[in-house]
Every structure is written in structure tokens, then in C-alpha cells.
Structure 1
Amino acid sequence: MSERTAPRTAPLRARAEIDLAALRANVRALRAHAPGAAVMAVVKSEAYGHGAVPCARAAVAAGASWLGTATPEEALALRDAGLPGRIMCWLWTPGGPWREAIEAELDVSVSGMWALEEVVEAARGADRPARVQLKADTGLGRGGCQPGDDWAALVREALRAEAEGLLRVTGLWSHFACADEPGHPSIAAQLAVFREMVGYAEGQGVRPEVRHIANSPATLTLPESHFDLVRTGIATYGISPSPELGTPADFGLRPVMTLSASLALVKHVPGGHGVSYGHRYVTPGETTLGLVPLGYADGIPRHASSAGPVLVEGKWRTIAGRVAMDQFVVDLGGDEPAAGADAVLFGPGDRGEPTAEDWAQAAGTIAYEIVTRIGTRVPRVYVNEEQDG
């Protein structure tokens, strides 16, 4: 096993261990779920909090032939780090770095006429064609072009620009609203609209390299949605997109991040002792308290106050009272681990520790948010960097 961190002279206060072997295995498992399609590993938001560049490299090594980001800045950073191959970015605002994206050979998403006009102008300035993917709003109601006259106009003008050598329409795509809710009627409806919009564009002469709509839940459960490419976000990191669909193990996935900290203090207190701000927790009797040096400034949800689970010396503990900015307390029930003992907030779960899904349930949110919100004060420590075998 290899491990890489910034040089240090003292033990880490806390760490998010990122298992790149697990990530590579997840990518291979996802490829097996969609054997007829290419896989795009989505590494937006610093790879859902795991670290974009190391995770992108691991995903490519495991066979992901595309990388996906939300913002162009995220995609350009991958290019600057030397990531080759196809990289797509989709969240644009007027005046964005279109020319830089074209020169970096990124695939850019276009949802409306203003974006098409800006990318065409940038292509003229760069004196090279842009790689453009037209996004269809099939029912999510966020980005994407509306069906009907708007889509017809966008396709027409994209084909006009393509004929002038200013762009190449490399893809047609959309995004599900409820693929994580099995049987939701919007799933079939969106698939039907997507097929219609793709059929119209192709009937007008668009020849896309890829057509794609499947996100993580659709990749795992809707083979009819796979088309030419699947975009796997949270599943790449070994987290189920929905407990209703199954656990990570049900899909052959393993969580990649383990978050832990060293206990900063263990002390005896009497019964009736208030703990943390507001005294929302008062010790029911004489006990020991452990201080965990992580707080909401590190991404620990304040909504998990009095609820978040932590493994200390083989036992689950629960946060006692409110999560503060930099720390929280657990009631150790009289046990006396040494200061510096490991407090594991979440991980794969196979060593008895809580999982990100357990934290999501405690905080009333989704596991996506739990891993993505872990802040930059928590060092990422990468293990198993070498390719398997």
C-alpha cells in the first residue's frame, strides 16, 4: 500500500483517507453494469470531495474513457494537470472561458442560443472548431433546451455553424430527474422525450459521437437508458445513489472515503454536566467525554448534532449536544480511550464503522452531501495509488 500526504512534523488532527484501489474497482464494476456503453467518471466538486486529479487519474486507469465536470474551470484544471482524453463540462454562464475550453479540446455543453452564439464567436477567435454537445431538457427543468421550436432552432443553428467549420456536434444529452426513485413515471416519460429529441436532431443531419442520459442510478438499474455513454458520479465513489435502489455492496461497489480524527481530549465529568453550546445534552450520570477535533467548518453537518455516529475503540458513539465550528463531543459512557485514539466518522462499514449513508440519515440529507462537504482543512490521504496487478 502506498500513501501520500503533504510533509508534516506531527500526526494529523483528522484525515480523509481515499482508497484509489476501491475507486478503480468501482469503475470496473460500473463498466460491467453498462457493457455496451462508454463510462464517463464525473469528477466535479473535487470528485465529490475526494480530490479531482487523483481520482480522475485512477478512473482513467480503470477504463473510464470520459471525464465530466460541472464548470469549465474544473475541466481546465484537469487539462492543466495533464489529464488526456475526452473531458466534458456543462455549467456555463455568459462570458465563460469558451476560447480556453476550445483550445484545451474540451467538450462543452450548449443549452440555449446565447451559449451557441458565444461558443461560435470563440471558435472564430481560436481559428479551430469547438466540440459542442447539445443538451435537451426532457423534463428535469434545469439546464437544457426545451422540446419543440426551441430545440429545432438550436439544432438548425448548430448545423449551420458546423457547416461553416466552427463546431462539431459531438453529443446529444439530457439528465434524469427521478432515476433514483424506482418506478417513478417521469423516468419513462423522459426517455421517450429524449428519443424524440435525438431522433429529430439526427433527422436534420446531426451525427453525434455519443448520446447520453444515464446518471449513476440509471447506470445501475435502467439498461434501456445507457445509449452510447453513461455518466457515473456518486457511484464512482462507492456510494449508492439511493438506499431504495440497494446498498453499495448490492452493486459491487465499495465506499472510497474514510473520515477519521484523533481524540483531542478524554475526561471524566459528573452527572448533570452540560455539554457544548446551549446544553442540549446533559450527562445522565458520571461518565467520560471525548473531544473530536472536527466541526461544521470541516463539513460536519450541524444538523447531525445529538445524532451523528462515531466509532471509537470498536463502539458506536453518538454526538453529545451541538456540533461546533471546530469540534464536537461524544459520550464515551465511562470508557477511557487515550487521547489520540481514532474516532472514525464514516467509511466502507466493513470494520464496524458508520457509513456516509448513516450520517445522511442522521443529518436528514443524502450521502452525496456528506462526502462533498468535507472541507479543505481535512487533508486527503491517498492510498493504493498503484494500479492493481
Structure 2
Amino acid sequence: MTAHSGGVPTHPALPMRARAVVDLAALRDNIRALRARAPRSELMAVVKSDAYGHGAVPCARAARAAGASWLGTATPDEALALRAAGDTGRLLCWLFTPGGPWREAIEADIDVSVSGMWAMREVTVAAREARTPGRTARVQLKVDSGLGRNGCPPGDWLELVHAARAAEAEGLLKVTGVWSHFACADEPGHPSIAAQLAVYRDAVAAAERAGLRPEVRHLANSPATLTLPESHFDLVRTGVAIYGVSPIPDAGSATDFGLRQVMTLSADIALVKRVPAGHGVSYGHQYLTPGETTLALIPVGYADGIPRHASGAGPVLVGGKWRTVAGRVAMDQFVVDLGGDSAEAGDEAVLFGPGDRGEPTAEDWARAAGTIAYEIVTRIGSRVPRVYVGEGDEGGDAGTGV
């Protein structure tokens, strides 16, 4: 078991007021379960945003051990940090802005995504300036097949494709992938899914007619990996699912999909006290005790990533029972009403986990806050140390180190 504080100083010999336990064995099992869903495709483990709040380097290492042949990040800084930590495998990043570190990414052997002509111009300039002998820029072209976010519009696709082919002929780059991203794969049967598949197939065909021969074609995200085999192509990109969060909660829980939630968030109760009926709790007194009762103070708040929108609704397991946040979530703390039950300072309060002990899950918090479970796990802040378990016996299928 190891602890990492995310840049906030902690003393390993002192007790933690709160901790996010990250089960790397569960993550490896999730990777294997997802690979089984797409047995003819490679798998990319997406570790952007510090692996959705779980810790990029430990999670990347576990994912590689379980057979993830690719890693994916949003920003080049995230990708370069993985290289600095020792990762040597295939790695894609996709969210550049003008003037970004193209040359550094090329020299670090990172696949970079290009969605428009400005980016194509910058990557070719960077390829000329790269100082690593024999290193060719690896570029993946992204088409906007219907999400309307990043990606080249279909009307501009041929211009981008032909520019990429010209740069290939000049020896500056190699187009290693053509990819896109679904808008509504978490709504099985949504008409946009078939429409995006058609646009994507047309884009791949146009690229191939222009002479490009990408190594990987990829469109499937976590929900498509689980429910849409016709979208798997050469590679599937799995994000939240590798952390054991269902990307389609209306269609099935994590357990239904053979996944286990990787993060368990808990805190030690800081104070227990008896109060009379009508006692106001937290800012604004939105909660008044209905009778004489016992209150427990949980020492985490919105500065730690606990959603303020879950005030009066967030579930917590204390003493084997579900409790609900009483009143507003404050910056550093919130309160639960224990009713006729008792507790002591130092007892554990479990906010969410896989549910094995009857505790809430991240999805339960998402419902309470009116959001998605992706946000719940990703927003847990750096004041909460990550404690890693299941690091031993990495035994897996691949290893290109982190």
C-alpha cells in the first residue's frame, strides 16, 4: 500500500483525515473485461485529467500491465509527464492549441492529433525543427463525425487529408490514425450513432483513396466499447469504464458490465455531538434538526471535490447505515444527522466505493448532485491523498513501462 498526496504535503506516519483508496487490481481486471468486449481490437486506456482523478502514473502502469497497448491523454503536458515518468509505449494526445509543444511531443515519440489546417501547418514546422535524428512526426487525423466539438468538419476533410499526404511524401510525418468521437453512445439506439458511423466510414475511405494507410482507426469510447461492436475497428478508447464507473448507468451498473469501481473515498469523523430539536446545521440553516439528535462532522468539503450541489442529498455510510448530508456542504466539511444512533470521533465515514460494504457508489453521488459519475471521481482534489492498493502481482499481458 502506498500513498500519494497529489502535491499536498503529508506525513506518512500521521493519520489521514480523508483518503481516496485506488484499487489497481480492480483497474487491471476492468481492462481485461473491456478487452474481452473487443477481442479483435487494441485497447487505449485514457488517463487524462490525472486518470480521472485516480493518479495518471500508477493507473497507466496498471493499464499497461493488463494489456492496454495505447494510452490516451487530452493535453500534451499530460502525455509528456507520462514520458518523463518512464512510459515508452504508444501514446496519443489530442488537445493542442496554437503554439503548443508540437516539437517536444514529436521528439518524445507521442502521437499527436490534428483537426484543422492550422495544426497541420504547426506540426509540419515542428517536424522540420525536431532534433531527434530519424524521428518522424506521428499524426492522427480527427474528423468531426457529428459531435460538433474537436475534429475536422467533413467539408474540410479532403483539404486536410491531402495536406497530410503531401507532408508524408516529404518525409515529415506519418499518419498513424484516423479517428472520431461519439456524441450519444451512452444512449443506445440514438439515431446520431448510425449517422456518425456513416460519416466516419466515409472519412476513412477518403483518407485511404488519398493514399493514407493509418495503423489504427478508432471511434468507440467506453459506452460504444460495451454496446456497439460494429464501432470497434482497430482500437477502442476506454476512459471512465476502466475506473469501474458505468458509462451507461441507465442501461446497466458497473457490476452489470463486469466492472468494479476503483476508487473508494472515505474520511474520519472529526466531531460527534448531541444537539436539541430545531438546531440549525451549516450555512443558511437549510436543515433544522427535527428532534434531539446526534450530528457527525465529516472533514471534507467542496475544496476536496465534494459537490456543493449535493447539499441535503449526498449519501454517506456511517456505522453501517446510509446517512444524508444535513444542510449545505461547506468548503472543508459537512454534517450528517445520525438520528438515534451514536458514533465517535475517528470512526470511518465512507462517501463512495464499489458498494461491497453497502456504501454508496459514485453514481449515487452523481444522482444526488444532478451530474454524472465521471465528474464525481475526477473532481476529488489534491488535498485528499491517493492510497494505492493492489500494486503487487502486476502480471499482465503487456509492459511498456511507466
User: How far off is 1:8 after superposition?
Assistant: 2.3
Percent of aligned pairs sharing the same letter = 76
What letter matches 1:292 in structure 2?
I
What letter matches 1:59 in structure 2?
A
Residue 378 of structure 2 is aligned to residue 372 of structure 1: yes
What letter matches 2:266 in structure 1?
S
Which of residues 17, 23, 28 in structure 2 aligns to 1:19? 23
Residue 247 of structure 2 is aligned to residue 238 of structure 1: no
Residue 41 of structure 2 is aligned to residue 32 of structure 1: no
Aligned residues: 387
What letter matches 2:78 in structure 1?
E
Distance 1:383 1:94 in 2: 40
Deviation per CA, 1:49-71: give whole Å up to 9, x if none: 00000000000000000000000
What letter matches 1:353 in structure 2?
E
Greater RCO (CA < 8 Å, at least 6 residues apart): 2
Residue of structure 1 equivalent to 2:59: 55
Which of residues 106, 110, 114 in structure 2 aligns to 1:106? 110
Residue of structure 2 equivalent to 1:188: 194
What letter matches 1:356 in structure 2?
A
Residue of structure 1 equivalent to 2:234: 228
User: How far off is 1:388 after superposition?
Assistant: 5.2
Which of residues 280, 298, 303 in structure 1 aligns to 2:304? 298
User: How far off is 1:97 after superposition?
Assistant: 0.2
Contact 2:62-2:394 within 8 A present in 1 as well: no
Residue of structure 2 equivalent to 1:135: 142
Distance 2:351 2:88 in 1: 35
Residue 288 of structure 2 is aligned to residue 285 of structure 1: no
Distance 2:112 2:28 in 1: 26
Consecutive unaligned residues of structure 1, counting only runs of 5 or more, are none
Residue 154 of structure 2 is aligned to residue 147 of structure 1: yes
Which of residues 336, 341, 358 in structure 2 aligns to 1:335? 341
Distance 2:11 2:202 in 1: 55
Deviation per CA, 1:203-225: give whole Å up to 9, x if none: 11100000000000000000000
Residue 279 of structure 2 is aligned to residue 259 of structure 1: no
Contact 2:3-2:385 within 8 A present in 1 as well: no
User: How far off is 1:334 after superposition?
Assistant: 2.5
User: How far off is 1:386 after superposition?
Assistant: 1.1
Residue 203 of structure 2 is aligned to residue 163 of structure 1: no
Contact 2:270-2:298 within 8 A present in 1 as well: yes
Q: For structure 1, which segment, 244-253 or 323-332, has the greater mean C-alpha deviation from structure 2 after superposition?
A: 244-253
Deviation per CA, 1:276-304: give whole Å up to 9, x if none: 00000000000000000000000000000
Residue of structure 1 equivalent to 2:398: none
Residue of structure 2 equivalent to 1:9: 13
Q: How does 1:208-227 map to 2 (within 5 A)?
A: 208-227=214-233
Q: How does 1:89-100 map to 2 (within 5 A)?
A: 89-100=93-104
Residue of structure 1 equivalent to 2:399: none
What letter matches 1:177 in structure 2?
A
Distance 1:333 1:3 in 2: 36
Deviation per CA, 1:54-91: give whole Å up to 9, x if none: 00000000000000000000000000000111010000
Contact 1:61-1:387 within 8 A present in 2 as well: no
Distance 1:271 1:11 in 2: 34
Contact 1:275-1:320 within 8 A present in 2 as well: yes
Deviation per CA, 1:192-237: give whole Å up to 9, x if none: 0100010011011100000000000000000000000000000000
Consecutive unaligned residues of structure 2, counting only runs of 5 or more, are 5-9, 396-402
Distance 2:363 2:234 in 1: 31
Distance 1:252 1:220 in 2: 10
Cα RMSD for the two superposed structures: 0.9
Residue 94 of structure 2 is aligned to residue 87 of structure 1: no
Contact 1:264-1:291 within 8 A present in 2 as well: yes
What letter matches 1:40 in structure 2?
M
Aligned to 2:297, what secondary structure does the other structure show?
strand
Contact 1:4-1:383 within 8 A present in 2 as well: no
Residue 85 of structure 2 is aligned to residue 78 of structure 1: no
Deviation per CA, 1:170-207: give whole Å up to 9, x if none: 00000000000011000000000100010011011100
TM-score (norm 2): 0.95
Contact 1:274-1:280 within 8 A present in 2 as well: yes
Residue of structure 1 equivalent to 2:68: 64
Distance 2:2 2:48 in 1: 24
Deviation per CA, 1:229-277: give whole Å up to 9, x if none: 0000000000000212211111110000000000000000000000000
Distance 1:237 1:387 in 2: 19
Distance 1:95 1:330 in 2: 49
Aligned to 1:246, what secondary structure does the other structure show?
coil
Aligned to 1:244, what secondary structure does the other structure show?
coil
What letter matches 2:320 in structure 1?
G
Aligned to 2:162, what secondary structure does the other structure show?
helix
What letter matches 1:205 in structure 2?
G
Residue of structure 2 equivalent to 1:175: 181
